[in-house]
Amino acid sequence: CGVYGVWNVPNAASLSYYGLHALQHRGEESAGICTADSTQDGKFNYHRGMGLVKEVFTQDVLETLEGNAAIGHVRYSTAGESKLANAQPLIFKYRKGDLAVATNGNIVNAPSIREELENLGSIFQTSSDTEVIAHLIARSSKDFVGAAKDALQRIIGGFAFLIMTNNKLIVASDPHGLRPLVMGRLGDGYVFASESCALETVGAEYERDVQPGELIVLDENGMTVDRFAPLERRATCAMEYIYFARPDSDINGINLHSSRKRMGQKLAVEAFVDADIVTGVPDSSISAAIGYAEQTGIPYELGLIKNKYTGRTFIQPSQELREKGVKMKLSAVRKVVEGKRVVMIDDSIVRGTTSLRIVNMLREAGATEVHVRITSPPFANPCYYGIDTPDRRELIASSKTVEEIRQAINADSLYFLSHEGLIDAVGGNEGAKNRGMCLACFDNDYPTPVDFSSDKSCSC
């Protein structure tokens, strides 16, 4: 998911609209914006809907969302939970006023907290784990900031939170900084976003990344920086660097295009293969393919094209059309790959079905050899922190060796970037474990306790 927050900037809704549009790749299922005027009565105005930002918000709708403060959200979830009731920001009325909550991430212990609260009589309106935080805040006898602090201390997981009341905005990042969140300045106000590309797009100036365990409060007194947890080991999600975030974003000061390019260079050093062209699976692997090509001297070519109008919500072709070879998303460029030995760079192999399809597509277009190079280690363990991954059993790398995966995807050769190669390519803080990254889906070393038996469904 993607979150966006605005404080003390006129017309916060239209700013959020452009910001969320820049974060659209983080979630295409639903979008929402809640605004308030922090200088007046702080009354909430909000709108949420299923679909893309540009589909959910028309000019007319945006004009009803008055105020100089806003939080917004784009959502990406597992299929079963894709419904309007779970669209964020979630809005609540409680005895102290209104509460709007937008989050990116996943609360690992939400099921047990929810059960405890339900046993005490709480009625939940959604199946989203984000609702837990609102209940914890509403039940507390402390003031809003104290209550939010207590609530944040109870939850375990990876999350970037934006919580708005009629006169305050709270911004928080989990104690390991698993999910990215940046702060920017615009005039006298502040803008917060999952990725820095969404600051650029509205002309806000990047100030810094929100730090793990930080709790930032904005109100009529300006900004107060506090913490709800000590800085533990920073463990920013490696998959953000590998494929999720946009290449023009920076996370912890590291540009995504550049780090992906270095991943490609590392792959070239670790697993050179003699070939005629290098191609990347669009969009996420183009940077890495450029790096591989630069390092080896093998020309980079656009061997694969992505149809940019295919979203996750797009109607899938029927089985019959699929068998006829209707390719919704990717096509191979025959004149480019025909008769060529191709190195195909991709970011990850999850189930293996995409890779098999692409390798076969290149072969059908006339490639004589297809060598697959992956910019991450084998993805063998599920994520509990908000990246949508299937069950461990469905992860091809959890049960197959690299050679077995190579056979399953019909490649001439297959190589996964080493842990060290990945860590060096990203190049975070040298003193920190894994240079400040979570690599749990590759090494099973989760930065927080996780409940392996729980339904790890993702709320974000």
Report, as residue numbers or ranges, the catalytic residues: 1
Closer residue to Mg ion in complex, CB, 100/349: 349
> Strand 254-255 and strand 277-280: pairing?
unpaired
Binding residues with ligand 5GP: total (CB under 6 A): 17
- Of the ranges 38-46, 54-62, 89-97, 344-352, which one interacts with ligand 5GP (CB under 6 A)? 344-352
In 285-435, DSSP assigns E strands to 304-306, 330-332, 341-346, 369-374, 413-416
Q: Which two tokens stand for residue 49?
A: 């809907």
* Residue 339: how many other CB atoms lie within 10 Å: 8
User: At its nearest, how many Å lie between ligand 5GP and the CB of residue 284?
Assistant: 5
For ligand SF4, give the closer residue by CB, 156 or 438.
438
Beta bridge partners of 73: 3, 32
Stretch that binds ligand 5GP, among 78-86, 249-257, 343-351, 446-454 (CB under 6 A): 343-351
- Binding residues with ligand SF4: total (CB under 6 A): 12
Q: Does 178 bind ligand SF4 (CB under 6 A)?
A: yes
Q: How many CA atoms lie within 13 A of 29 on its CB side?
A: 18
Tell me if 65 contacts ligand SF4 by CB under 6 A: no
Instruction: State the binding string over 273-292 for Mg ion (x if CB under 5 A, else -).
Output: --------x-----------
Residue 352 in contact with ligand 5GP, rule: CB under 6 A? yes
Under the binding rule (CB under 6 A), the answer on residue 351 touching ligand 5GP is: yes
Of these, 57, 228, 385, 416, which contacts ligand SF4 (CB under 6 A)? 385
| Nearer residue to ligand 5GP within complex by CB, 151 or 337 | 337
The contacts of residue 425 (CB under 8 Å, 6+ apart) are 259, 262, 263, 265, 266, 375, 417
Specify the residue, 35 or 285, whose C-beta has the smaller distance to Mg ion: 285
The CB-of-391 to ligand 5GP minimum distance in angstroms stands at 12
Is 355 a binding residue for ligand 5GP by CB under 6 A? The answer is yes
Residues making up the binding site for [4Fe-4S] cluster:
237, 383, 438, 441
292 neighbors 267 (Cβ within 8 angstroms): yes
213 to 252, contacts with ligand 5GP by CB under 6 A?
239, 243
Residue 417 as a binder of ligand SF4 (CB under 6 A): the answer is: no
Contact of residue 33 among Mg ion, ligand 5GP, ligand SF4, none (CB under 5-8 Å per partner type): none
Closer CB to ligand SF4, residue 182 or residue 439?
439
- From residue 61, alpha-carbon distances to 22, 58, 92, 313 in Å are 19, 5, 21, 22
Which of 128, 215, 123, 127 has the alpha carbon at shortest distance from 163? 215
| Annotation: binding site | 237, 284, 346-347, 383, 438, 441
With b meaning 16 or more CB within 10 Å and e meaning fewer, what string describes 78-98?
eeebbeeebbbbbbbeeeeeb
Q: By the 8 A CB rule, do 145 and 126 touch? A: no
Look at residue 349 and give the partner it binds from Mg ion, ligand 5GP, ligand SF4, none, a contact being a CB closer than 5 to 8 Å depending on partner kind: ligand 5GP
For residue 89, say if its preceding peptide bond is cis, omega within 30 degrees of 0: yes
Return the percent helix, strand and coil in the chain, to nearest 5. 30, 25, 40
Q: CB nearer to ligand SF4: give 94 or 452.
A: 452
Q: Which does 352 bind (CB under 5 to 8 A by kind): Mg ion, ligand SF4, ligand 5GP, none?
A: ligand 5GP
Within 251-290, the residues that bind ligand 5GP by CB under 6 A are 281, 284
- Based on CB atoms, which residue is closest to ligand SF4, 312 or 334? 312
Examine residue 387 and tell whether it contacts ligand 5GP (CB under 6 A): yes
Residue 79 C-beta: closest distance to ligand 5GP, Å: 11
Cis before 455? omega within 30: no
CB atoms near residue 227 (< 10 Å): 16
Number of CB atoms found within 10 A of residue 60's CB: 7
Residue written as tokens 């969404």? 198
Three-state DSSP at 357 gives: helix
- Distance between CA 34 and CA 47 in Å, rounded? 7
Does 268 contact ligand SF4 by CB under 6 A? no
Contact set for ligand SF4, span 135-174 (CB under 6 A): 158
What is the rounded CA–CA span in Å between residue 59 and residue 428? Answer: 42
Q: Which is nearer to ligand SF4, 101 or 441 (CB)?
A: 441
> Residue 393, class by beta-carbon neighbours within 10 Å (0-12 exposed, 13-18 middle, 19+ buried)?
exposed
| 239: contact with ligand SF4 by CB under 6 A | yes
Strand partners, 139: none
Pick what 355 binds: ligand SF4, Mg ion, ligand 5GP, none; C-beta below 5 to 8 Å, kind-dependent.
ligand 5GP
Which residue ranges make up the site for Mg ion (CB under 5 A)?
Answer: 281
Residue numbers of the site for ligand SF4 (CB under 6 A)?
158, 178, 237-239, 383, 385, 387, 438-441
Q: Interface residues with ligand 5GP (CB under 6 A)?
A: 239, 243, 281, 284, 346-355, 387-389
